[in-house]
Amino acid sequence: MVTPINSVQLIGLNEAPEVTPGMDLAQIILDAARASDLNLHDDDILIVTHKVVSKAEGRLVDLRDVQPSDLARRFAEQWGKDARQVEVVLRESARIVRMDRGIIISQTRHGFVCANAGVDASNVAGEDIVCLLPVDPDASAAGLREAIRREIGVRPAVIITDSFGRPWRQGIVNVAIGVAGIQPLVDYRGQPDDHGRVMNVSVIAIADELASAAELVTGKLGRCPFVVARGYTSPGRDSGEGRGSDLLMDASMDLFR
């Protein structure tokens, strides 16, 4: 008897233009898929970097229009930062977790705890332009999924990603900030393992794992903001609609507040 091989294929869609506010992102994705001779399927998972979503949605700020607060100026002067960008970070933060050594860790209005409230200038055209996170990444993911369905009649799941740092670990990894069409968590609690022991804490963040895997294809410099994950099967693939917000730690369970 031949044992089935479990595999997931990650397919990068490279033919993407520079995205600007108001562009039809679903159409850009479909054009990139056609240029790659790829037909999207219902059981595909489309993984999209948040930067192109934010650009299309106009989530850009011109720092020349920003008047820094006293707090932003003091922090910027102490650590050699741009006070205008510090001010944007403060405005995008619902709660400051830590502000030290030139680093701001904050909680966004979405509930994400990350560096600089997700405010970023990388891969953004214009010397004084910074990019913010989408207002509602889950709604953005659902909108992309529905727009693709209207155009070609299939509804791949959609995951929108961003790069987050990790406590006690060097380096950043991609995580899911917006999800549509897939459960972001698979709960194995109550199920026996291979040795019959009942699992009590095993809840797997599969949307984050898919987001992180996709970054191996997108990279940071390759102008490949879209990845199709094909062949992935899991309880989370067919167990109803989920949201990226399902991945947020409930405050009552957060040991670091």
Which CATH number is 4's domain given?
3.30.1330.100
Residue 94 lies in a domain: yes
Whether residues 176 and 144 share a domain: the answer is yes
DSSP 99-123: EETTEEEEEETTS-EEEGGG-B-TT
Identity of the highest mean pLDDT range in 70-74, 163-167, 199-203: 70-74
| Predicted local confidence at residue 240, as pLDDT | 62
For residues 223 and 25, the model is more confident at 25
Confidence tier at 128 by pLDDT (50, 70, 90) = very high
Mapping DSSP onto H, E and C, the string for 127-192 reads CCEEECCCCCHHHHHHHHHHHHHHHHCCCCEEEEEEEEEECCEEEEEEEEEEEECCCCCEECCCCE
pLDDT at 5 over 70: no
Confidence tier at 253 by pLDDT (50, 70, 90) = confident
% of the chain at pLDDT higher than 70: 92
| Predicted local confidence at residue 254, as pLDDT | 79
Question: What CATH number is given to the structural domain containing 120?
Answer: 3.90.1660.10
pLDDT at 198 over 80: no
| Predicted local confidence at residue 236, as pLDDT | 53
Residue 118 lies in a domain: yes
pLDDT at 15 over 60: yes
pLDDT at 223 over 80: no
Whether residues 91 and 213 share a domain: the answer is no
For residues 237 and 19, the model is more confident at 19
% of the chain at pLDDT higher than 90: 73
| Predicted local confidence at residue 135, as pLDDT | 97
**Segment 35-76, tens digit of pLDDT:** 999 999 999 999 999 999 999 999 999 999 999 999 999 999
pTM of the full structure? 0.92
Whether residues 93 and 128 share a domain: the answer is yes
pLDDT at 126 over 90: no
Whether residues 179 and 114 share a domain: the answer is no
Q: Are strands 169-180 and 93-100 parallel, antiparallel or unpaired?
A: unpaired
Structural domain boundaries enclosing 189:
1-54+137-248
Whether residues 151 and 180 share a domain: the answer is yes
